[in-house]
Structure 1
Amino acid sequence: MAQIIVTAIGSAGDIHPLVGIGRALAARGHRIVFCTHPPFEPAARREGFEFVAIGHADHYAAALANPALWNPRTSFRTLWELIAPLLRPHYDTLVALTGPDTVLVGTLWAFSARLMQERHGTPYVSVQVSPSTLLSAYAPPVHKQLTIPRGLPLPVKAALMTLIERTVLDTVCAPRLNELRAALGLPPVTRILGRWLHSPEGVLCLFPDWFAAPQPDWPKPYAVSGFPLFNDLADAAPDAELEAFLAEGEPPVVFTAGSTRVDGERYAQAVAHALRTNGARGLLLGGAPHDDGSSSPRLLRRRYVPLRSLLPCCRALVHHGGIGTASLAFEAGIPQVVTPFAHDQFDNAQRVADTGCGLRCDAPLDGAGLARVLGRVLHDPRIAAHCAQACAKLAAAPDGCEQAANFIERFVPSAARDTAAAAAAPAQPERSPECAMAGRA
């Protein structure tokens, strides 16, 4: 049995996939310590994980509510301002938790886990939730501000990628990171996001190769596990009104902006206009609670509904571009309209469009524009065919959480794996992705 410390930094889209992978590892008898932001403690505790908080809940809530975090011109620097003060406390926490049987697993911003690997030799698997942060010159990531045209010669693209890393990304991250490295007796580093943060022992990519084809300049060794299709279902209370809404008419279109902070009333007006124009029904997630009187026969509002049980009941999904949200729409076989705001959302949106399973529609949104693009995805048979193909691929693929767990277990000593296997309880089956909201198939 190994102690596997999962250290996930970011939004729900970064943390929830690691909960699913942690569940798969715990079912194999390993001890899981989940080290992340305080709001995710209930989800970790429900899985039986030990939990150690990084930072404070009020600071995390304030960061997510900061409009600068969702503006593509200021999002990167604003995100770093949240992460940088946590570097030393996070590192000290990992030092206190780590023992001789520890394996570290960390998401993109888990810089402190990478420092543990360098300073103490602790085995570390770095996780890439989305492909945009692999910074490939062969397939440059799409961004609102700094997209490198893919048609340029490779040497030019590589030179531009290096320039962006050194003059934009390193300019933000290097001073605080290298200050801590100096205190730990480590030399300074450059090309932090493109090279340094990736574990030289193993990089785990949580998406399938048909969504992002492996590139020659990806960090090695890497493994592509497929989407870790996991959705936290424990928070879903019975909802008779929602079940009746799903049962009494044609499948609705689901709208969600995820963690993104948008003008809720303006967004709701655009949604209502798009539904009226297309004669469709809708379910709007986030923002106003369902008892505020804003729902109507055509549009129902909820703060949250687990998407994995909801989407198979639905006609299409309009969302912000979180890769976890996109993966659940692929699994449900429904078309997507992706409305990116910041971070990796632009690259994810373009990749959804490239699969033929939906369309990218950059913010700002208005009712007429949303109505137009929604009408296209609802009535284009080619999009429907591509959605069916993606759904079939995921149905035939191995479980992404199990594949990720297989890769992580490579870093566990064989004796610890044998002990864990002997002690493991039978795994609980994952809830079916079929519609579970109104008895629908």
Structure 2
Amino acid sequence: MRLLFGFAGGRGHVEPLLPLARAATARGHDVAFTGRPGGLPAGFPGFPAGADDSGERRPLQRLDRAREEHDFLHGFGGWIARERAASTRAAAAEWRPDVIVCDEADFGSMIAAESLGIPHVSVVVLAAGTFGRPSGLALLLDETRALHGLPPDPGLGMLDRHLVISPVPPTFRPGGAPMRPMPPVPRQKTEPPTVYFTLGTIFNTESGDLFGRLLTGLRRLPVRLVVTVGAAIDPAELGPQPPHVRVERFIPQAELLPSCAAVVSHGGSGTVIGALAHGVPLVVVPMGADQPANADRVAELGLGLVLDAVDATPADAEAALHAVLTDPAFTANAAALREEAESMPPPDEVVGRLEALAQDGA
């Protein structure tokens, strides 16, 4: 079986695809990826398409949910879908896949698959799921569908025509065929407790003074604080730090989460899904995109606390992290989500469904 994996965004759109891709490779199937050059994972043939994020620094903006929904609609549903449909068709012409697998926001790859008569599978990458279906999406996607000879799809049947796979515990986001997000990893407690602070790989450059403001409060606590600022930011910008604070551009979160007692983050889906899989409670400081919806769900399920990115003071950050570390309810609720994630079918089992789909065809 030949599989083409597509993604429409950055690292958070790629990481959820990797367990399935690796499991398919282990079963002897041929796997390739198509997407932004900087997101193409090592170890697989790649078809680069589009441009990476510029990394341009931007000031922190007050959260505006209507603005974020508009940007998603006209980005992922508009020009990105058009670009992805064309580039995935081109990659498919060369790779000749039996199945196209894409992240759930890669609408262009879904359209490309349908236009080529190839079954497609989408993988959930938006943790809460309430953000990625704005009003007007069908009308915009119909424009791209028409470019590839497809009829209108007012009911958005294209989104789940064949199979939707979800690495998110159903309690957090119901729906989709469940797939364990990662192999079970033993928890590794540290003394003092380890806390991971990140603002992701895109919104980190739109965070203004947020890193420094929150860090001022977080480092007051007796914790081992690990901070990642992203490739575009020099850790030296945050100034000298005490011995219990480590600041790096990037560390794979899979290396950190097994030993973490808490995560402080922007609430991007990749970070949230990773924290859930490891049973780690959160302090979420949403700035945009899917983050507000993820933060809402974290608060609703008692998995952590939420701060306002513009208004939060160092004292607020210190108090929120202290509460998440010391209130056993947060840890217990996060542990329950971890147990749920570990009970989900492993990727190897899910590959069997792709094999059946390839055999049946579109």
TM-score when scaled to structure 2?
0.82
Q: Give the conservation status (yes or no) of the 8 Å contact 2:127–2:273.
A: no
Q: Give the conservation status (yes or no) of the 8 Å contact 1:114–1:199.
A: no
Whether 1:282 and 2:218 are equivalent positions in the alignment is no
Report how many aligned residue pairs link the two structures. 348
SS at match of 1:351: helix
SS at match of 1:74: helix
Q: Matches of 2:161 and 2:93 in 1, distance apart?
A: 23
Whether 1:61 and 2:61 are equivalent positions in the alignment is no
User: Which residue is equivalent to 1:187?
Assistant: 151
Q: Give the conservation status (yes or no) of the 8 Å contact 2:180–2:343.
A: no
Instruction: Mark the structure with the bigger radius of gyration.
Output: 1
Q: Give the conservation status (yes or no) of the 8 Å contact 2:295–2:306.
A: yes
Q: Matches of 2:261 and 2:240 in 1, distance apart?
A: 22
SS at match of 2:54: helix
14 and 32 in structure 1: CA distance in 2 versus 1, 3 angstrom threshold: same
50 and 341 in structure 1: CA distance in 2 versus 1, 3 angstrom threshold: same
Gaps of 5+ in 2: none
Alignment counterpart, residue 337 of structure 2, candidates 371, 376, 390:
390
How much does 1:93 deviate? 1.2
Q: Give the conservation status (yes or no) of the 8 Å contact 1:72–1:341.
A: no
Letter matched to residue 26 of structure 1: T
Alignment counterpart, residue 165 of structure 1, candidates 108, 112, 135:
135
Letter matched to residue 83 of structure 2: L
Letter matched to residue 227 of structure 1: P
Structure 1 window deviating more from structure 2 (112-121 vs 340-349): it is 112-121
Q: Give the conservation status (yes or no) of the 8 Å contact 2:265–2:282.
A: yes
310 and 87 in structure 1: CA distance in 2 versus 1, 3 angstrom threshold: closer
User: Which residue is equivalent to 2:348?
Assistant: 402
User: Which residue is equivalent to 1:297?
Assistant: 243
User: Which residue is equivalent to 2:199?
Assistant: 257
Deviations 1:113-166 (A, max 9, x none): 222343232111122223544xxxxxxx379xxxxxxxxxxxxxxxxx9xx624
Q: Matches of 1:129 and 1:354 in 2, distance apart?
A: 20
SS at match of 1:165: coil
Deviations 1:318-362 (A, max 9, x none): 112123322332343332112222222222222223333222334
Q: Indicate the RMSD between aligned Cα atoms, in angstroms.
A: 3.4
How much does 1:284 deviate? 1.5
How much does 1:63 deviate? 8.2
Q: Give the conservation status (yes or no) of the 8 Å contact 2:284–2:295.
A: yes
Letter matched to residue 45 of structure 2: E
Matches within 5 A, 1:98-247: 99=96, 102-130=98-126, 132-133=128-129, 141=130, 165-166=135-136, 169=137, 174-175=139-140, 177-190=141-154, 195-214=156-175, 222-228=176-182
Letter matched to residue 19 of structure 1: L
Q: Give the conservation status (yes or no) of the 8 Å contact 2:34–2:88.
A: no
Letter matched to residue 163 of structure 2: G
334 and 126 in structure 1: CA distance in 2 versus 1, 3 angstrom threshold: closer
Q: Give the conservation status (yes or no) of the 8 Å contact 2:286–2:308.
A: yes
Q: Percent identity?
A: 27
Gaps of 5+ in 1: 134-140, 144-160, 215-221, 232-245, 417-441
User: Which residue is equivalent to 1:435?
Assistant: none
Q: Matches of 1:190 and 1:64 in 2, distance apart?
A: 38
Q: Matches of 1:199 and 1:331 in 2, distance apart?
A: 24
